[in-house]
Structure 1
């Protein structure tokens, strides 16, 4: 009886090993294999070709050792769809992937050393994997399909953020971004109405809010470090909050609900702004 139980256990363990192998899961991890022996497999031929060009290796397997020390990759305009294999590029600090066909950036969650990321002009909706990029300072995610930016509150080192031309309506989460860091913010060409969350970002030097649905700009009044303000093509009629800002050099107001008639309050505000040597564009 004991022999039968042992035989059954041995058989069961054998079946488990077969199933594990069939699912493509190995009991041997990359930590168990030397970097010059661990082969990186690519799901995207265009990405593989770009990497081969980068490491000057036209043929043969690509090993972990081949990419371990790469700190920068510029992979724009490569027709790349799948970037899963980039999870092995653990030393990456600067990654440019603009103008591709990428939808999923889950693999970027493993790139903890990233400082600069350009994923503009792709088909990305979910940016939650970026919460793991704790060192990141600059993100360009222009022209994607992003609507949820709540995940960005965890990026305490973020200084520059470009989310122009997405599907963003709610920016209240920006209140959670460390106001000692972020300096440049571009939210133009979205669907934003309420910008009150920006009042917390007191170190902003440039803000882009063109082509939204903004009426109230009072949140900008406390942003004393602002130098460039772009507010074109909104629904703004009251410019008085801008009189509180003394460091602006460039101000764009074209395409708003401004009363520019002779003697109007708006025209008086614009005159005062120009007297401060502002470059003010306001004509509709």
Structure 2
């Protein structure tokens, strides 16, 4: 705000205020109504938490996304801590998760794209209401301090430095688990995650699919960019609609015929030698449900006798196909 300009006037009957992209370096010229419930300060230039925010008693949603905050520990003094439902601190310079004692109503916590190294400070969050937790694109090395969040439905920890699937046993209601771009070598720790619908372990260090048998309700499975050599355990995933095993080392297509609800199959960039491998899948329920298939980058495609012959062979197997590789049919 330029020096000498009038303060931003806000009507006192306004419950939600959106100051997105207002180029604010601070809040010196902003006055907030005492009964404000929603505040969005996304994409500004704020370096610290202003007392004007902390004294608000009725705030239920607060977004400070895309600022240049490095220390948000002053949240421990917030007057709204017992009523805040959504806290978004994504895309700042935060190095440590702030103290969250007393945030008993918090349901969504967004901390992605920061510089956080540990989840242990989450132990201070003394509530079981949390449904969504996002700490992607940080430097977290282990899954810790999440066991108390027994109502958690979505957990996003992609693009960190996690090596093992541990600390998830109490999250029996978890529906989405996103762990792409980590350092995980084995699928484990999913024994109690029977409610899981979506699982992403792409761009890790997997060589096997073993360990998925405890997730019978799984609908979407993303395992691309690993070192998986064969498809296995698919018979225990009858609800699967999306299977992505692209960019692996799979040489044979097995078990896909058991997936009676499969619509999307990504097998591109593997080591599949023959289109005949798809015959079993085409002859089962999958033959009628599959609408998207990616096979490019396999030796079988080069051996098919050209583009037209390749398309004809695949469409004969899967008559309801709507997309083959990057081409809409």
The reply to whether TM is greater than 0.5 is yes
Higher relative contact order (CA 8 A, sep 6+): 1
Partner of 2:196: 182
Alignment gaps of 5+ in structure 2: 1-45, 58-73, 298-329
Partner of 2:239: 225
CA positional deviation for 1:47:
8.3
Partner of 1:206: 220
Partner of 2:105: 91
Change (3 A) 1:140 1:47: farther
Matched, 1:70 2:105: no
Change (3 A) 1:210 1:55: farther
Find the residue that maps to 2:217 and give its secondary structure: coil
Selected match of 2:276 from 244, 265, 268: 265
> So what's the TM-score if we normalise by structure 2?
0.64
Selected match of 2:159 from 143, 148, 171: 143
Partner of 2:66: none
CA contact (8 A) 1:162 1:185 kept: yes
In the alignment, the residues of structure 1 paired with residue 87 and residue 47 of structure 2 have an alpha-carbon distance, to the nearest angstrom, of: 11
> So what's the TM-score if we normalise by structure 1?
0.74
Selected match of 1:239 from 250, 253, 260: 253
- How many residues get paired? 231
CA positional deviation for 1:131:
1.4
Find the residue that maps to 1:66 and give its secondary structure: coil
In the alignment, the residues of structure 1 paired with residue 49 and residue 82 of structure 2 have an alpha-carbon distance, to the nearest angstrom, of: 17
Selected match of 1:196 from 210, 218, 223: 210
Q: After the TM superposition, which segments of 4 or more aligned residues of structure 1 sit over 4 Å from their partners? A: 50-57, 269-275
Find the residue that maps to 1:221 and give its secondary structure: helix
Question: How large is the RMSD of aligned CA atoms in angstroms?
Answer: 2.4
Alignment gaps of 5+ in structure 1: 1-45
